[in-house]
Structure 1
Amino acid sequence: MTVEKLQTLQALLADVDHSSPSVSKYRALEAYLANLTGLPATRIYTGYVSKAGNLSVRMVQSPRAQEASLLVALIQRSDEGPATFDAARKVAARTAKPLLLLQRQEGTQPEWFPLAAYVAASDPAGDTTLNRLLKDLSPFEISKVISEKTKVDRQLGLDETLPLVEEQPNISVPAAIPALKLDPRTRRMLRNAISSHKAVMLVGPPGTGKSSLVQEIIREVREDPGKFGMTMGHELMMVTADESWTTRELVGGDSVDDSGRLRFTPGFVLQAIEEDKWLLLDEANRADMDRIFGGLLTWLTGSDGQAVTVGRVSPGSSREILLGWTSGARSVCEEESPDEEEDDEENKVIVQYLAGQEWRLIGTYNSIDAQRVFRFGLALGRRFAQVPVPPPSVELFQELITERMLSYKLESSVLSEIGRLIVRLYEIHCADSSTAMGPALFLALPGSVVIGLAEAGDEVTPLMAESYLTNFGPWLSRQDDEILDRLGESMMRSDMFGEEWSWIREQLQHLGR
């Protein structure tokens, strides 16, 4: 029975074009695995991994992977065993989802076979799923990992295997931040921008949920493409910008290949087009985009049939690497042999990257740090539809923190005081555009306060001051005295931090101020 099922597995993968950007190429495989595991096929995500370093991108950043109950990675290279196992272990720990590795071994029958599997030790359902596959397919090792959430819970003393402090046995910390609460016009502006522009930038202070909002839109497009004037759902590739980036990271450039030759290597934009995935440049102003965008400026304003040169196949080669647009919905890539004098089928390289009309470049821009990192010039800014994502109103934040506090089992008077202080902190920050921030950091404040209350005699205000310093300290330490003095006018009031504000400012010197 195992041999027959392995042969079925092989048949389902035999004719699949793994380089195709199609989002449905593994549907038959997922339906087959669903039959073996009892999971819905829609809860199984399969991704093709050309090298170990890409495993996290495929299994963590894809919206479909984030909603799946079983991850399946198709491993191409057998020479990266240790790196692959290490990457798989980290993915399973980070996602807390069972992960099955299927490896391709050329010249063997069956060609594809289960290599290994990983599951969080705290996930009995995932363990059951993998054991069903172990029974039906072939012997493979199932390794237990400790999820990142469990590690954090243990550090906080919240893991079920470790007792909480006896004085407060009912303390609990919610596992997730409640859903985004935003002005509905913000969502509407983003939906309309995504529908009508090839490049969109979300601009706002940190913690307003810009990246999460993009994920929301991705799910909406996948559920109802027609609502956005599109024909299909799209997956997302997300990268975080860095000040060390050059044009090579963003677009592409020459690098040494496995044979020691200089060849053009595609950057993130070209990689996303090759895989027909939307590209999210998170914290885009961390990199000097004006300097490194290069030919993308012309490309973003180009029409069908127009292309820009972004490099050459190799130094001195007459073969250009072109970036352009197709007239259809899907992205298309055209290959040629890298050597002009021979037809090298095995080592063909892409010479044309043509983005489909439904392809999107999305960025997030941290407005509060705009003066301290890189700003977008007018030429670059005009290429993007810019959607402001301000912090939600104090009233919306009040709803958010109220929902958050319901997860804590404390006396109502204590919960009320913690909530009051956090709402007031949010209000103080949002009163000044130079200090306004989104809800994320504020929602992190109650956790350590609640844990600290387990120690007899502790009061809420000192604990809140400590939590505020821990979470906001790195940002506070970079502010000048004028901003801190303005904050202090409200923070030093008796109904806020009072003298604790002076203590907070004293501690900033130890954080690099």
Structure 2
Amino acid sequence: MSGSDDSIVFNGVGEILIKFEEIWNKGGYEREANTSVGWETWKWQYHDHLQTTFLEEYTITELNSEHIEKLLVALDKPVGIDSRIPVYMLGGGANGGIAWRDFKEISQDNPTETAEMLSFFFDPNADIEERLEAFHKYYDDIETGPGSLLALATCLLMFVYPEQYIHYKWTEMREFFDEFAGYKVRRGFDAGQYRELNDACEQLRVQLSERVEDPSMIHVQTMIWSWEELLSLDNLLSRVTPGKTSDSGDQKRYFWVNTENIDWQKVGSQTFYSTTNSTGDNRKNLQAYLNASSGDEVLVYQISPAKQIVGRAHVTERNNKETTNESETPVEGITLQWDESLDGASWEAVQSDSELSSSRVVESDNSFIITELTKQEFERILELSTKPTYADYREELSVPESDITIERNNLYFPDKEWERIQSRIYQALVSGNHVLLFGPPGTGKTKLAKQICRDTVNKNYELVTASADWSTFDTVGGYQTTSENVLKFEPGVVLDRFRDGTDGTPTNEWLIIDELNRADIDKAFGSLFSALTGESVTLPFNGPDGTPIQILDASRADEEVGPNQFYIPNDWRMLATMNTLDKTSLYEMSYAFMRRWAFIPVGIPDLPSGDDEDTALKDLVGEYVRIWSKVDDIPEIEDHYEPVGRIWREVNKERAIGPAIIKDIYTHVAMAPDPDAADYVSPLIMYIFPQLEGLRRNELERLLERLESIIRVDTTELWMVARDFFQIDIQRSDER
């Protein structure tokens, strides 16, 4: 209960203080002691280690960038126990390990800022709430729950200033403060609440000063963490009214119970869990046994070999006495009755779930036989135990017709041409077809494909470029050797769009394949032909459990999500580009494969024929430049519109090219400080020559002479480079 000033006031802790004094002064917390409270004196060894290796040499409130790595080395060293102390204090397991890993990485990324922040954080003269909030803000990217982040911060404070600060850990503090102060400890990063808890723990430290030598908050933390073991079983039982939980009322409780024995796993079977071990000592986490009442719900976890939730049970009796294999004398305990079997959540799934990171079962790394859960934790574990189907992800995987967006934005196409392209792409996508954009190089096919995906599915798409070396290994996937020298199936660029690589949940990421005609279609897409035409396929590969890898079509949405299955949603689409309509590659596609694609031309505009002024051509180039300048801050220099347009028209007479290549030429000459001094030869060599491969000698000579008449500068280099680039002895007409 609380006093009038809202401070936390303890009641009934006298016996715990007496017991702690007795066991502490007898060395009961030493490593060699055979007591139920366990070895805890390593904490003082760790504090001494920090003193001698860092705190005596450096001022913790005046850190600089060079101190950070030294501080991390000191904090990181296992002392006394075979674990990094901050990891252990956060409950070990993935939660503590990941939090400590991230703390070190963030601290090392910018040691100067870290030094400034930690100097303030460790300043005992500054306000504790402000210091904690600064720590919270700086290390907010640590992948752990807010409560665990507070636990990390206060762990560091306690070992640096053991006289002043207590280590916060919600599970242990919740039970102690509820039992002896009637105070409900809230979860999360609550700096104000921590101040109250720390002030209350200072009361306990003062009371310990009459009982142990030089008491610190480490003493208080140790006492709080072991209070259940300090009280005898009889004393604990006297605190609980038979038939009631330790709280007032008959509120149902929830538990996680570990089991190795599978003999009782049938409906109606019962088993007994004793409160003492084979040596007669009370089991760890004794309060969980004592909190259990008839009707409380239980999740049963099989330690081995399943390592998963295997059933639900309920408490039938509490505090009854039975004999066990470990004791012929009847001992106290609880009786559980099996309700149903479950193919439930694995430990890996429970441990990695963000909603369970602050649960006691995760923070303790499942180190107790019986662990109490909150109702929310119990229900969350049941959710993880429910095997989802692909239909459960229907909303996440769907792309409604209303979301399909084909906008011109910063791409320029003549109005009529754009209307044709826009209508064809939209109709193809809503009809369930994949889209292949083909046309000359530089017509904006890839940019258009990216823009469609970005506007329709946001970031849920991937762009890859095809290669002549592609095989089904690249598109479908295949076996790869892991660091453990084990073969494991890894999905290729197509299958990888259908499953999240982190947690295995189904995804719908659209795929853009640039320059599809580079790939040998049969070689690259062989086993995908059937899948892309709406059929399920079993691949000649097995997953880790030996079952084959499958590609599931959308008709199998009611199947359970599996680690060896890739589900193709109805709304998944591929967009591909081809710089030329390569009939050889197209004929190599099966008809069934081709019929799922809509082939949509993306051509070049009709360039106006020449006249004295070339006004229409200048206007067309000007339209493009206005669009380019909005996106890339390209200057609008009208002097270049006509020559650039004429270059485009002359090149198109021999080889069609799109406006993207013309943009490169214009950008080069527009950057010249003086339009009259612009270098046209260089962009022709850099951007036009690569598009002219395959032209005959007379075609090249004819084109170069036309270009020469446009740029009207010394073109000696243009002809010389052309001879070397094309390996043809081309000549001007006056040299033949």
TM-score class normalised by the smaller sequence: 0.5 to 0.7
2:485 equivalent to 1:260: yes
Q: Classify the secondary structure of the residue corresponding to 1:280.
A: strand
Question: Any conservation in 2 of the 1:234–1:278 contact (CA below 8 Å)?
Answer: no
Aligned to 2:664: 444
Aligned to 1:505: 719
**1:278 is aligned with what amino acid?**
W
How many residues are matched?
319
Classify 1:244/1:469 alpha carbon distance in 2 versus 1 (closer, same or farther; 3 Å). Answer: same
Q: Distance in 2 between matches of 1:135 and 1:454?
A: 56
2:393 equivalent to 1:179: no
1:69-126 C-alpha deviation (Å, 9 max, x unpaired): xxxxxxxxxxxxxxxxxxxxxxxxxxxxxxxxxxx9642485795745999xxxxxxx
Match of 1:311 among 540, 544, 549: 540
Match of 2:428 among 184, 193, 200: 193
By percentage of residues, which structure has more strand? 1
**1:138 is aligned with what amino acid?**
Y
Q: Distance in 1 between matches of 2:421 and 2:558?
A: 29
Classify 1:331/1:361 alpha carbon distance in 2 versus 1 (closer, same or farther; 3 Å). Answer: farther
Question: Any conservation in 1 of the 2:553–2:568 contact (CA below 8 Å)?
Answer: yes
Aligned to 1:381: 594
Aligned to 1:285: 517
Describe how 1:53-452 pairs up with structure 2 within 5 A.
Answer: 106-108=95-97, 110=99, 113=102, 115-116=105-106, 137-138=137-138, 179-182=410-413, 183-184=417-418, 185-222=420-457, 235-274=460-499, 275-302=507-534, 306-313=535-542, 319-327=547-555, 334-335=561-562, 350-367=563-580, 370=582, 377-379=588-590, 380-394=593-607, 396-404=620-628, 415-432=637-654, 435-452=655-672
Aligned to 1:459: 677
Classify 1:421/1:352 alpha carbon distance in 2 versus 1 (closer, same or farther; 3 Å). Answer: same
Q: Distance in 2 between matches of 1:508 and 1:134?
A: 65
Q: Classify the secondary structure of the residue corresponding to 1:254.
A: strand
Question: Any conservation in 2 of the 1:241–1:285 contact (CA below 8 Å)?
Answer: yes
Q: Distance in 1 between matches of 2:435 and 2:459?
A: 15
Q: Distance in 1 between matches of 2:684 and 2:558?
A: 47
Q: Distance in 2 between matches of 1:405 and 1:286?
A: 32
User: Gaps (5+ residues) in structure 1?
Assistant: 1-103, 120-132, 142-176, 223-232, 336-349
Aligned to 2:65: none
Q: Distance in 1 between matches of 2:667 and 2:455?
A: 32
Question: Any conservation in 2 of the 1:307–1:325 contact (CA below 8 Å)?
Answer: yes
Classify 1:403/1:107 alpha carbon distance in 2 versus 1 (closer, same or farther; 3 Å). Answer: closer
**1:491 is aligned with what amino acid?**
L
Question: Any conservation in 1 of the 2:621–2:641 contact (CA below 8 Å)?
Answer: no
- 1:220 Cα deviation (Å)? 3.8
**1:400 is aligned with what amino acid?**
Y
1:422-464 C-alpha deviation (Å, 9 max, x unpaired): 11122223345xx111111211123332444459xx634xx11
Classify 1:188/1:374 alpha carbon distance in 2 versus 1 (closer, same or farther; 3 Å). Answer: same
Q: Classify the secondary structure of the residue corresponding to 1:362.
A: strand
Q: Distance in 1 between matches of 2:635 and 2:599?
A: 42
Question: Any conservation in 2 of the 1:209–1:438 contact (CA below 8 Å)?
Answer: yes
Describe how 1:7-86 pairs up with structure 2 within 5 A.
Answer: none
1:450-501 C-alpha deviation (Å, 9 max, x unpaired): 444459xx634xx112222122233335644254245346324x3x135756
- 1:510 Cα deviation (Å)? 4.2
1:140-168 C-alpha deviation (Å, 9 max, x unpaired): 99xxxxxxxxxxxxxxxxxxxxxxxxxxx
Q: Distance in 2 between matches of 1:378 and 1:391?
A: 27
Q: Classify the secondary structure of the residue corresponding to 1:268.
A: coil
Q: Classify the secondary structure of the residue corresponding to 1:208.
A: coil
Question: Any conservation in 2 of the 1:243–1:286 contact (CA below 8 Å)?
Answer: yes
1:386-417 C-alpha deviation (Å, 9 max, x unpaired): 1111123436544113554796668xxxx333
Q: Classify the secondary structure of the residue corresponding to 1:506.
A: helix
Q: Distance in 1 between matches of 2:702 and 2:723?
A: 18
Question: Any conservation in 2 of the 1:332–1:356 contact (CA below 8 Å)?
Answer: no
**2:138 is aligned with what amino acid?**
S
Q: Distance in 1 between matches of 2:512 and 2:549?
A: 23
Aligned to 2:315: none
Q: Distance in 2 between matches of 1:429 and 1:484?
A: 10
Aligned to 1:19: none
Q: Distance in 2 between matches of 1:362 and 1:237?
A: 10
Question: Any conservation in 2 of the 1:405–1:419 contact (CA below 8 Å)?
Answer: no
Q: Distance in 2 between matches of 1:196 and 1:357?
A: 11
Q: Distance in 2 between matches of 1:384 and 1:256?
A: 35
Classify 1:381/1:479 alpha carbon distance in 2 versus 1 (closer, same or farther; 3 Å). Answer: farther
- 1:186 Cα deviation (Å)? 0.8
Classify 1:178/1:198 alpha carbon distance in 2 versus 1 (closer, same or farther; 3 Å). Answer: closer
- 1:293 Cα deviation (Å)? 0.9
- 1:272 Cα deviation (Å)? 0.6
Classify 1:359/1:331 alpha carbon distance in 2 versus 1 (closer, same or farther; 3 Å). Answer: farther
- 1:249 Cα deviation (Å)? 0.4
**1:268 is aligned with what amino acid?**
V
Question: Any conservation in 1 of the 2:440–2:580 contact (CA below 8 Å)?
Answer: yes
Q: Distance in 1 between matches of 2:722 and 2:558?
A: 50
- Indicate the structure whose relative CO is greater, using CA pairs within 8 Å and at least 6 residues apart: 1
Classify 1:179/1:408 alpha carbon distance in 2 versus 1 (closer, same or farther; 3 Å). Answer: closer
Aligned sequence identity (%):
24
**1:361 is aligned with what amino acid?**
M
2:688 equivalent to 1:472: yes
Q: Distance in 1 between matches of 2:701 and 2:551?
A: 51
TM-score of the superposed pair, with normalisation by structure 1: 0.53
- 1:200 Cα deviation (Å)? 1.6
Q: Distance in 2 between matches of 1:469 and 1:331?
A: 58
Q: Distance in 1 between matches of 2:642 and 2:604?
A: 18
User: Gaps (5+ residues) in structure 2?
Assistant: 1-92, 111-132, 142-407, 500-506, 608-616, 728-736
Q: Classify the secondary structure of the residue corresponding to 1:444.
A: helix
- 1:291 Cα deviation (Å)? 2.0
Question: Any conservation in 2 of the 1:310–1:320 contact (CA below 8 Å)?
Answer: yes
Q: Classify the secondary structure of the residue corresponding to 2:561.
A: strand
Q: Distance in 1 between matches of 2:109 and 2:698?
A: 52
Q: Classify the secondary structure of the residue corresponding to 1:189.
A: helix
**2:641 is aligned with what amino acid?**
G
Question: Any conservation in 2 of the 1:257–1:263 contact (CA below 8 Å)?
Answer: yes
Question: Any conservation in 2 of the 1:311–1:321 contact (CA below 8 Å)?
Answer: yes
Q: Classify the secondary structure of the residue corresponding to 1:107.
A: helix
**2:450 is aligned with what amino acid?**
Q
Question: Any conservation in 2 of the 1:273–1:355 contact (CA below 8 Å)?
Answer: yes
**1:401 is aligned with what amino acid?**
V
Classify 1:467/1:194 alpha carbon distance in 2 versus 1 (closer, same or farther; 3 Å). Answer: same
